């Protein structure tokens, strides 16, 4: 396994990441009755709304404190207080998630102090819960903002007390379909649970008869308050940049039993999740999941000849890359390039734990890179398939390599939020997509255009 450093240059060329407060905004959209509010200029909110709407194809409101030139010079406290009043009067939210931007962080606004002043001036009774998180884009990516927002919500809202039977799960930044599958699994195990965030309905909901000012669904604030009373907390994702993930925080602060697992992509990682849930539920794994696992193994055998030895370039959020790499290795493919624009510092270490020793030296691991770095790796490695979001399409087109779209953002196809990747069922769908993409590429390159496999 080779750790690859970004090529030395003065500029980023097509970043392999998005801005920090985007991830935080998505978390707040996954809380029932919540409204995200960016403390900074209007352009930041517009940019993030554009990205989220393009991927999810749903209306997305993100409030802004709307900095002006004078706010930048004298501070944005008055703007933030006015923005809070506007959001409260227009939306009547249960929670407002305030994420800072580069501008408010650079001028040094003390958001906590401003919020304390706001509560004294306008009174706390009947007011929504206010959560603040520091998310300047110059110190992280969208996945860092996502995890920081989850941590902020738990630290500022959760409380302790007598233990309940509830299990708290932090699923990471996955598709809305993956969230729905996780909830189905938890229900089938008979577990009472809190999932934070849960944007499975708020960002991929049903059609409305009348406009809803706040999309229904999301993690209830009442359950978030009770998170410190959970009997267990599960964090899906090992590459979180923070020294302590949300499950570990609950374990240390409230004595909740904490588990850190990888994203359940592939059989091995899904097995770990199922076994953990079986222990927590005190019951066997439901038969339907045993059957899904059996069908998946059978599919591995059926299509092994099409995948064995094929090289893949995987890019995106660190834990998504890690989950994909583990899955690719177990089906006989080589995760030849594992790249991320984030800098968790954990990707190479975690890959060594998951990948077989036979692939030592066959995988290029690259953190903190852009798509120009990835292009240079592709030139050298010559993968057979790309696996990642829509931002890699120009490379797929340039080199004639099939692109399997996963993760965020997916802008050039419909259905990004409904793509399954997790569990035996999601792995089956992902597996079929990869196999069929490779078969189609062979057909397209064949001089005779064969039609039977």
Residue 219: name the closest of 25, 418, 29 by CA: 29
Question: 36 with 78, same domain?
Answer: yes
Buried b (16+ CB within 10 A) or exposed e, 247-267: bbbbbeebebebbbbbbbbbb
Helix residue spans in 207-366 (DSSP H): 221-225, 246-254, 267-281, 287-307, 318-330, 347-354
Question: 89 with 175, same domain?
Answer: no
* Residues 208-222, mean pLDDT to the nearest whole number: 94
77: pLDDT strictly greater than 90: no
* Residues 123-128, mean pLDDT to the nearest whole number: 72
Take residue 332 and report the two structure tokens written for it.
């006989």
* Residues 242-253, mean pLDDT to the nearest whole number: 94
> Tell me, what's the pLDDT at 108?
86
359: pLDDT strictly greater than 70: no
> Tell me, what's the pLDDT at 358?
61
Question: 237 with 308, same domain?
Answer: no
434: pLDDT strictly greater than 60: yes
Confidence of residue 8 (pLDDT cuts 50, 70, 90): low
136: pLDDT strictly greater than 70: yes
277: pLDDT strictly greater than 90: yes
* Residues 381-385, mean pLDDT to the nearest whole number: 97
125: pLDDT strictly greater than 60: no
284: pLDDT strictly greater than 60: yes
Question: 49 with 142, same domain?
Answer: yes
* Residues 27-35, mean pLDDT to the nearest whole number: 98
Q: Which domain holds residue 134?
A: 20-157
126: pLDDT strictly greater than 70: no
Question: Is residue 15 in some structural domain?
Answer: no
Question: Is residue 371 in some structural domain?
Answer: yes
> Tell me, what's the pLDDT at 138?
87
439: pLDDT strictly greater than 90: yes
Rounded CA separation 396/406 (Å): 14
* Residues 152-163, mean pLDDT to the nearest whole number: 95
Question: 190 with 248, same domain?
Answer: yes
Question: 316 with 214, same domain?
Answer: no
Whether the link from the prior residue into 409 is cis, omega within 30° of 0, is yes
């Amino acid at each position: 396994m080779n750790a690859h450093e970004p090529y030395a240059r003065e500029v980023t060329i097509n970043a392999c990441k998005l801005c920090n407060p985007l991830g935080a905004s998505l978390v707040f959209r996954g809380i029932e009755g919540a409204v995200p509010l960016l403390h900074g200029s209007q352009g930041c909110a517009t940019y993030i709304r554009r990205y989220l709407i393009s991927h999810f194809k749903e209306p997305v409101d993100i409030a802004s404190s709307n900095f002006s030139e004078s706010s930048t010079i004298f501070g944005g406290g008055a703007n933030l207080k006015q923005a809070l009043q506007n959001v409260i009067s227009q939306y009547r939210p249960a929670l407002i998630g305030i994420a800072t931007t580069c501008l408010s962080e650079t001028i040094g606004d003390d958001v906590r102090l401003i919020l304390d002043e706001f509560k004294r001036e306008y009174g706390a009774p009947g007011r929504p819960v206010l959560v603040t998180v520091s998310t300047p884009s110059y110190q992280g990516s969208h996945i860092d903002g996502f995890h920081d927002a989850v941590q902020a919500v738990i630290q500022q809202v959760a409380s302790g007390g007598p233990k309940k039977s509830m299990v708290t799960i932090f699923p990471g930044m996955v598709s809305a379909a993956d969230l729905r599958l996780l909830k189905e699994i938890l229900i089938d195990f008979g577990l009472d649970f809190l999932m934070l965030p849960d944007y499975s309905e708020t960002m991929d909901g049903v059609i409305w008869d009348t406009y809803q000012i706040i999309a229904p669904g999301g993690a209830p604030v009442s359950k978030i308050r009770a998170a410190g009373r959970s009997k267990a907390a599960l964090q899906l994702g090992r590459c979180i940049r923070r020294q302590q993930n949300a499950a570990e925080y609950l374990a240390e602060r409230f004595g909740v039993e904490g588990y850190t697992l990888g994203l359940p992509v592939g059989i091995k990682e899904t097995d770990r999740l199922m076994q953990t849930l079986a222990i927590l539920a005190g019951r066997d794994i439901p038969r339907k999941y045993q059957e899904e696992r059996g069908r998946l193994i059978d599919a591995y055998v059926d299509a092994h000849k099409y995948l064995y030895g094929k090289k893949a370039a995987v890019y995106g959020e660190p834990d998504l890359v890690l989950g994909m790499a583990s899955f690719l290795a177990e089906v006989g493919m080589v995760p030849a390039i594992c790249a991320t624009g984030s800098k968790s510092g954990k990707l190479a270490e975690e890959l060594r734990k998951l990948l077989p020793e036979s692939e030592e030296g066959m995988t290029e691991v690259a953190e903190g890179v852009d798509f120009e770095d990835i292009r240079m790796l592709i030139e050298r490695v010559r993968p057979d398939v790309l696996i990642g979001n829509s931002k890699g399409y120009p490379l797929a087109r340039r080199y004639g390599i099939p692109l399997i779209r996963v993760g965020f953002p997916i802008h050039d196809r419909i259905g990004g939020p409904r793509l399954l990747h997790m569990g035996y069922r999601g792995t089956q769908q992902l597996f079929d997509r990869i196999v069929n993409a490779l078969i189609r590429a062979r057909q397209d390159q064949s001089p005779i255009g064969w039609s039977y496999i």
